[in-house]
Amino acid sequence: MTLPTLNFLAILPLLILVAATLLVLLADLVVRNKRVLTFLGLLAVAASLAAVLLVRPAAPTFQGMTLADELGLFASVAILVATGLALLLALERTSDFTRRPGAYVALLLLATAGMIVMAKASDFITIFLGLEILSLSLYILVGFAQRDARSNEAALKYFLLGAFASGFFLYGMALIYAATGSTNLAEISKGIASHSASLPFAPLLPIGVGLLLVGYGFKLALVPFHMWTPDVYQGAPTSVTAFMSVATKTAAFASLIRVLAAVWSGDRPWLLALAGLAVVTMTLGNLAALRQTSLKRMLAYSSIAHAGYVLTGLAAGNDRGFEGALYYLIAYTFMNLGAFATIQAVQRRDQNDVTTEQITGLSTQRPGLALLMTVFMFALTGMPPLVGFFGKLYVFSGAVQGGMTWLAIVGVINSAIAAYYYLRVTVLMYMGGATAAAGDIPRTGWAVWTTLVITAVATLALGLWQQPWMESIREAVTLLALR
Amino acid sequence: MLDYAWLMLLFPALGTLIISLFGTRLGKRAVSILAPAMVFLSFVVAVAAFVSLLGLPVDERSREVTLWRWMVVGNFSVDAALLLDQLSITMALAVTCVGFLIHVYSAGYMHDDERVPRYFAFLNLFILAMLTLVLANNYLLLFVGWEGVGLVSYLLIGFWFEKPAAADAGKKAFIVNRVGDFGLLLAIMFIWTGIGSLRFADVFALAPQVWPAGSAVVGAVTLLMLLASTGKSAQIPLYVWLPDAMEGPTPVSALIHAATMVTAGVYMIARSAVLFDLAPASGNWVAWVGVLTAFFAGTIALTQTDLKRILAYSTVSQLGFMFIAVGVGAYAAGIFHLVTHAFFKALLFLSAGSVMHALNGELDIRKMGNLRVKLPTTYWTFLVGAAALAGIPLFSGFFSKDAILFAAFEKQLPVWIIGVITAFITALYSFRMVFVTFWGQERDRRLFNHAHESPRVVTIPLIILAVGAVLTGYIGLPAISAIDGWLAPAFHPAGAAAETHSVALELILLVVSGLIALAGVFAAYQAYMVDPDLPKRVRASLGRVGRLVENKYYIDEIYDMFVVNPLRDLGGWLGGVFDRRGIDGAVNGLAGVTGWLGAQARRLQTGMVGLYALAMLFGAVALLAWLATR
Amino acid sequence: MPEGYLPILVMVIIASAFAVIALGVSALLGPRRHNPAKDEPYESGILPFGDARRRFPIQFYVVAVLFILFDVEIILMYPWAMMARRLGLFGLIQMGIFVAILLVGFVYAWKNDAFKWQ
C-alpha cells in the first residue's frame, strides 16, 4: 500500500493557525501579561496571511478535499484580515467581559482556521468539517461574556439553532451523495454534466441543494433563517460580533459559490429561488432595522440586508454577479468591522451595547469617532466613491445583465430605504445636544484607533482604486467556469 | 494647459483636507482666506483651460485627461478621467466663478459663527464634488459627483442643526434625493449592460447603433435619468426638499440651491443629448415636467411671505424653464439659462442674505418696506437680480428665457403658452419682492431703525454678481448667439448641422416676451404699490383654489400620508415582531389591524428559540417545495 | 440501479419487524398484575421524592464532557493500532501529533482547575 501524497504546504496557513491556537493555550498557563497572547495571535495571523499569499499550489490536494484556488485565496485573505482587526479590537477590551483572554484568542484563531477550511474546501466532508470547527468556536465566543445574561442566552440560542441547521446541512449532503454518488465537488460537477438523466436518484439533487441552502442560509442570516441574528449579534461581545458578522459571511458565501458552481445547471427556478430569498432578506432586514434603538441590533438587521445584496449577485447567475458578490464581501468586511469597532470604542466598560441615545451628540465629545462612524455609515448606505457603492453597483448590474431587472430595482429601492437608518446615526451624532457624559466613553487606545483607521482608509481606497482587486476577483470567478 | 485640468479638482480637495484636519488650529481668519483662495485658483485653472480650448479648432475641442485606471472588469473598464469640452468648461467656469464669489461673501456672512472651519471645509468639498460631476468623462464618475453634492448639500442644510427644522430639512433633502439617485443608478446599469461602456464618448457613439431610435430601452434609460434629475433639480414630483433647504445658511442657499447643484439634472440631460434625441417621447416628458413645475412653483412663489422661500420656489420654477429647453432639444438655450440663472439667482440670494443680516435674521417680507433708504447697495443689486429674473429687456434673464420660449414655440406650442403665462407670473412675484421689501412704507419701525448696510466683503461680491447678471445675457444674443455656436458641437459630436432659425420670428417673440415681463412688473406695481388691497381681493375671489396654492398644493402632507408614515410604521411593526422594545411603536403606528397584529407579535416574539426554529422549518419547506416542483 | 439498495431495504424491514414483533408479542401474551408497589417508578422500593428534573452540580458536566472528549478520541487509536506497522514512522508521527494536541487540551483543562471539585 502506498501512502497518499499529502502536500502539507498547501495547508500551511491552517497549520500555522492551529499551531498558534495550541501555543496560545499553553502560553496562557505561564504568561502573566495576557496582552502578549493577543500579540501572539496577531503574529500567527500575519504569518498565515504571508503563507496564503506566498505559497500557492494550484492543484487540489488531500485527494481533492481542499483547493487553494484564487477564490480560496481571496476568501482567506478577507477572513484573516477580519481576524487580525478583531484581535486588535479585543486587545484593550477583553478584560471588560472575561478573565480568560487566552482562551478568547485561541478560539478566535480556531474559528478562523475553520472558516479557511470551509472557504477552501472542495469536498462536502471538508466543507462540513470547516463549518463545524467555526461554528463550535463561535458558539463559545458568543457566550464569552459570562456575567452577561444576554450573552449566555445568545450562545445557547445560537448553539441550538446552529445544531438544527447543521442537521439540514448534513441531510442535504447525504441526498446529494445519493443523487450523484460523490461528495467531491469536481466529481459531482462532472457527474451532472455527463449523465444527469441516467443517475437513479437524480430527482434528489434539487432537494439536497435546497437543504444545503437552508444550512448556508442559517450561517448567512438569510430570511427566514435569520431570526437568531439580532439576539446573537446583540448579546455577543462586540469584538466577536464584529468578527463573526463579516468573516462567517465570507467563508459561507465563498463555499456557497463553490457549491453552486458545481451543481449549477443554469436552471431558472434555482436562480429564482435565490432571487426570492434575496428579496425577502433585504426587505425584511432593512425594514426591521428602521426603528431599532440598539446600535448592535440595528447593525444585525443591516447585516441581514447586506447578505441579501450579496445573494442578489449569486441570483444573477453570471460572472458579473459573482464578481460583484466577492467584491461586496471584501467591502462589507471593512465597512462593517469599522462600524462595530466604533461601537466598541463608544460602549461603556460595563456594557455590551450602545443605544441610539448614547451616541446623541457624540461629535462634540469625540469628533474623531463620530467622523469615522459617519464614513462607515455612508459606506454601508452605498455612497460613492466608498466601497459599499461599488459592491451594490456590481451585484445589481449583474442582476440586470442576468435578465432580472426587477431584482435590481428591489435592491436599489432597498438601499434607498436603508439610507434612512444609517443616516439617523449620523444625524444623532452631529445633531442634538450631548446626552452621554464624556466620562462614560472610555479612552480609545492605539489598537482600536489602528483598527478604525485601517478600515476607514480601506473603505475609501478600495473604492477609488480597485483594479488589482477586481483582477483577482475576476480570476477567481473565471476559474469556477460557470456554465 | 488642458492636461493640467485636474488641478481644478486638486485645489478644493486640498482645501477640504487642510481645513478639516487643521481648521480649528488655523483659526477663523486663516480659514476664511484659504478656502476662497483655493476656489479662486480653480477658477484661474478653468479660465486657462477655457482659453486654451478656444485656441483649438472646433473639432478638437474635446479632450480627455485620464488620471488613473479606476477599475477593470473583463473588457469593461472605467477610468478616473476628466472630459474637457465646451459644455464642461462652461459649467466649470460658472461653478468656480459663482463659487468663489460666494466663498468671499461667506467669509463676511459667517464671521460670527463658531464653526467657520467646518463650514468652509464643506463648502470646498462641495466645489470638489460639483467639479467632479461636470468634468467627469463617464457616467460612474458623474455619479460620484452627483452623490457627493447631495451629501454636502445635506451637511450644509443641516449646518445649524440646533434648529430642528434645519436638521429635518437636511434629512428630507437627502432622502428625497436618494429616490432620484436610484433612477440614475438603474440607468447606469442599463447603459453598462446594453452598451458595455460608461464612457460618454463610447456611449454616444454606440447608442444609435445598439438602440434604435424610440426603442424601449433607451426610453427607459432616459426616463430614469429624468427621474434622477427631478430629484437633484427639484422638479415635480421630487421638488419638495428645495424650499425646506432654505433652513441652511444663506450663502449655501445661493451656492447650492440656486446656482450650482440643482442645475446638475439639467446638465446631465444636456450631456446625454444623444440619448434623449433617440427617445423623443422622453424629451416630451422632460419638457412637460419642466413647464408644469415652472407654472406650479411660480404660483406658489406668489403666495409665500418668506423672502428666501419665494426665491426657493422661483428657483424651482426657473429650473422648470431649463427643463423645457432641454426637453425640446434646445440644449444650448438650457445651458445658457443655467449660466445666467446662476448669476442672477446667486445675486438675489446673497442680497436677501444682506437684507436678513441687516434685519437681525428677519425674512418675513410683510415686516419690511422702504429698505432702499437704509440699504442702498443691496437695493440696487437686488433690483438688478429681480430684473434679470423677471426677464426685463436687456438684462440677462431676458435673453436666456427668450431663447427657451422661442425653442418651445417651434416644437411644442402648448408648452410655450404655459411658459409665457409663467413668465408673466415670474415678473409679478419678482417685483412683488422688490416693491414690498424696498419700496413703500416701513412696516416694522423697530426693525427698520436697526437696519444697516452690510460690510464691504458682502457688498463687493454683490456688485460683481450684479455686473455678471447683466452681462452674461450678451453671450447669447439672438441671431448672433455666441453660446449656441460654442456649445452645439458638445451635444452633437457627429457634427449635425446647426438648425437655421427664422430671425424675424425670433425678434417678434423677443418683443412679446419683453412686453410680458413689463406687464408683470406693471401688474406688481398696481397690486403692491398703487392698490395694496388688490391682492387680498384677488385672494378672496379665488377661495378654495387660493388656499390650495397657499398651502403649496398640500404636496408635503400627501407625501407624509402615503409614503413616509406607512414606511415608518411598517418598519416599526417588522422590528416589533422580533423586538420587545419596538412593539409599542408598532401598536401606535397603525391603529386597529396593526394593534391586533402587534398584540399577536408581542406574544410571538418572546425570543423563544422554538419559534425561531419553526420559522426555519417553514422556510425550508417553502424552499424545498419550490425546488422540487419547479 | 436502485435495485442495488435492495439488501438495505430488506434489512430495514427485518429490523423493524423484529422490534415490532418482540414488543407486540410480549405485550399481547405477557400477564399483567397491577399492585401499588409495581406501579411505583422504582420497583425496588426506593421512595421517589422531589422533581425528576433535579439540578446537578455543574462539575458533573465538566467532568462528563472531558471524559467523553478523551474517550471518543481514544477510539481513533484502535484502527491506527491495527495499521501501525504498515503506516510506519509516518503513522507514528501522526499519532504523536494527535496525542500532543490532546495533551495540550488536557494540560489546559488541568491548569484551569477543571478537575478540582470545589
Question: Per-residue pLDDT tens for B473-509?
Answer: 777 666 556 677 677 777 765 444 445 566 777 778 8
pLDDT band at B605 (very low <50, low <70, confident <90, very high): very low
The DSSP element (H or E) to which B602 belongs, if any, is helix B593-604
Residue C62 in domain: yes
pLDDT of res. B591: 37
Residue C118 in domain: no
pLDDT of res. B74: 63
Burial per residue of B389-426, b for 16 or more beta-carbon CB atoms within 10 angstroms, e otherwise: bbbbbebbbbbbbbbbbbbbbbbbeebbebbbbbbbbb
Q: Round to whole Å and give the CA distance between B195 and B206.
A: 7
Alpha carbon of A114: minimum distance to chain B alpha carbons (Å): 24
Does residue B435 carry a pLDDT above 70? yes
Partner-chain residue, chosen from A207, A213, A466, that has the shortest CB–CB distance to B628: A207
pLDDT of res. A3: 56
**What's the rounded mean pLDDT across residues B287-301?**
88
Cell of A115: 472558516
Partner-chain residue, chosen from A3, A22, A29, that has the shortest CB–CB distance to C111: A29
pLDDT of res. A364: 78
DSSP state of B199: B
Does residue B585 carry a pLDDT above 70? no
**Of the candidates B57, B37, B48, B59, the residue with the CA atom closest to the CA atom of residue B3:** B48
pLDDT of res. B562: 65
What's the alpha-carbon Rg for chain C, to the nearest Å? 25
**Of the candidates B550, B307, B348, B513, the residue with the CA atom closest to the CA atom of residue B424:** B513
Cell of B253: 442657499
Q: Which range, B355-359, B497-501, C9-13, has the best average confidence (pLDDT)?
A: C9-13
Return the higher-pLDDT residue of B101 and A278: A278
pLDDT band at C21 (very low <50, low <70, confident <90, very high): very high
Return the higher-pLDDT residue of B536 and A295: A295
Does residue B378 carry a pLDDT above 50? yes
Q: Which range, A18-22, A472-476, C111-115, has the best average confidence (pLDDT)?
A: A18-22
Percentage of residues in chain B having pLDDT higher than 70: 84
What's the length of chain A? 483
**Of the candidates B487, B517, B466, the residue with the CA atom closest to the CA atom of residue B343:** B466
Cell of A448: 482600536
pLDDT of res. B495: 43
The dihedral formed by the CA atoms of B5, B6, B8 and B11, expressed in degrees to the nearest 10 = -150
Q: Round to whole Å and give the CA distance between B104 and B461.
A: 7
pLDDT band at B55 (very low <50, low <70, confident <90, very high): confident
pLDDT band at B180 (very low <50, low <70, confident <90, very high): confident
User: Is C53 strand, coil or helix?
Assistant: coil
Percentage of residues in chain B having pLDDT higher than 90: 6
- Is residue A329 within 8 A of residue A299, CB to CB? The reply is no
Does residue B551 carry a pLDDT above 50? yes
Q: Kindly report the pTM of this predicted structure.
A: 0.83
pLDDT of res. A406: 92
Does residue B212 carry a pLDDT above 60? yes
Mean pLDDT (chain C, rounded)? 83
Does residue A275 carry a pLDDT above 90? yes
pLDDT of res. A456: 94
Beta-bridge partner residues of A355:
A294
pLDDT of res. B192: 87
pLDDT of res. B581: 40
Mean pLDDT (chain B, rounded)? 80
**What's the rounded mean pLDDT across residues B251-279?**
86
Cell of C25: 408479542
Does residue A1 carry a pLDDT above 50? no
pLDDT of res. B500: 56
User: Is B71 strand, coil or helix?
Assistant: strand
Mean pLDDT (chain A, rounded)? 87
Which residue in chain A has the smallest CA separation from C112?
Answer: A29
Partner-chain residue, chosen from B73, B178, B623, that has the shortest CB–CB distance to A213: B623
The number of C-beta contacts closer than 8 angstroms across A and C is: 19
Q: Round to whole Å and give the CA distance between A352 and A294.
A: 11
C108/A26 CB distance under 8 A: yes
pLDDT band at B461 (very low <50, low <70, confident <90, very high): confident
Chains in touch with A (≥3 Cβ pairs < 8 A): B, C
Chain segment A338-362, per-residue pLDDT in tens: 999 999 999 888 888 888 888 888 8
User: Is B68 strand, coil or helix?
Assistant: strand
Task: Output the CA torsion sign for B300, B306, B310, B316.
Answer: negative
Q: Round to whole Å and give the CA distance between A114 and A129.
A: 8
Q: Round to whole Å and give the CA distance between A342 and A345.
A: 5
Task: Output the CA torsion sign for B320, B326, B330, B336.
Answer: positive
Does residue B590 carry a pLDDT above 50? no
Cell of A183: 461528495
pLDDT of res. B438: 81
pLDDT of res. B598: 39
Question: Which residues, in sequence order, are CB contacts of B371 under 8 Å at separation 6+?
Answer: B355, B358, B378, B379, B437, B438, B442, B448, B451
Which residue in chain B has the smallest CA separation from A161?
Answer: B613
Q: Give the domain extent around C68.
A: 2-111
B568/A291 CB distance under 8 A: yes
Does residue C15 carry a pLDDT above 80? yes
pLDDT band at A116 (very low <50, low <70, confident <90, very high): very high
Does residue C76 carry a pLDDT above 90? no
User: Is B138 strand, coil or helix?
Assistant: strand
Task: Output the CA torsion sign for A195, A197, A198, A199.
Answer: positive
Does residue A195 carry a pLDDT above 70? no
pLDDT of res. B118: 84
Does residue B594 carry a pLDDT above 80? no
Does residue C14 carry a pLDDT above 70? yes
pLDDT band at A23 (very low <50, low <70, confident <90, very high): very high
pLDDT of res. A481: 63
Does residue A82 carry a pLDDT above 70? yes
Residue C33 in domain: yes
- Check CB contact of B534 with chain A, cutoff 8 Å: no
Query: E strands, B21-165, where?
Result: 62-73, 76-85
Q: What is the DSSP string of A414-453?
A: HHHHHHHHHHHHHHHHHSS---S-GGGSPPP-HHHHHHHH
Phi, psi (deg, nearest 5) at residue B624: -65, -40
Q: How many CB atoms lie within 10 A of CB B22?
A: 14
Does residue B602 carry a pLDDT above 50? no
Alpha carbon of A335: minimum distance to chain B alpha carbons (Å): 18
The amino acid at residue B452 is H
pLDDT band at A119 (very low <50, low <70, confident <90, very high): very high
pLDDT of res. B570: 62
How many domains, chain C?
1
User: Which residue of C94, C102, C108 is the best one to mutate when testing the A interface, meaning the one whose CB has the most A CBs within 10 A?
Assistant: C108
User: Which residue of A11, A29, A136, A180 is the best one to mutate when testing the C interface, meaning the one whose CB has the most C CBs within 10 A?
Assistant: A29
Does residue B402 carry a pLDDT above 90? no
Phi, psi (deg, nearest 5) at residue A123: -145, 140
Partner-chain residue, chosen from A164, A408, A431, that has the shortest CB–CB distance to B158: A431
Question: Which residues, in sequence order, are CB contacts of B322 under 8 Å at separation 6+?
Answer: B233, B263, B266, B290, B334, B337, B338, B341, B404
**What's the rounded mean pLDDT across residues A7-12?**
79
Residues of C in contact with A3 (CB under 8 A): 87, 90
Task: Output the CA torsion sign for A336, A339, A342, A346.
Answer: negative
CATH number of the structural domain spanning residue C27: 1.20.58.1610
- Is residue B307 within 8 A of residue B366, CB to CB? The reply is no
The number of C-beta contacts closer than 8 angstroms across A and B is: 186
pLDDT of res. B596: 46
Q: How many CB atoms lie within 10 A of CB B596?
A: 11
- Is residue A8 within 8 A of residue A85, CB to CB? The reply is no
Does residue B563 carry a pLDDT above 70? no
pLDDT of res. B595: 40
pLDDT of res. C2: 59
Angle, CA B151 vertex, CA B251 and CA B8 arms, to 5°: 70
Residue C67 in domain: yes
Return the higher-pLDDT residue of A126 and B59: A126
Q: Round to whole Å and give the CA distance between B487 and B335.
A: 9
- Is residue A308 within 8 A of residue A332, CB to CB? The reply is no
pLDDT of res. A60: 63
Residues of B in contact with A203 (CB under 8 A): 628
Which residue in chain C has the smallest CA separation from A201?
Answer: C2
Return the higher-pLDDT residue of A403 and A481: A403
- Check CB contact of A457 with chain B, cutoff 8 Å: no
pLDDT of res. A328: 94
The dihedral formed by the CA atoms of C13, C16, C19 and C21, expressed in degrees to the nearest 10 = -50
pLDDT of res. B572: 56
pLDDT of res. A219: 94
A81 phi-psi bin (left φ>0, alpha ψ -120 to 50, beta other):
alpha
Does residue A44 carry a pLDDT above 90? yes
Does residue B542 carry a pLDDT above 80? no
pLDDT of res. B377: 85
Return the higher-pLDDT residue of A5 and B442: B442
Chain segment A146-182, per-residue pLDDT in tens: 888 889 989 999 999 999 999 999 999 999 898 888 8
Q: What is the DSSP string of A30-61?
A: H-S-THHHHHHHHHHHHHHHHHHHH----S-B
Q: Round to whole Å and give the CA distance between A51 and A43.
A: 12
**What's the rounded mean pLDDT across residues B123-130?**
91
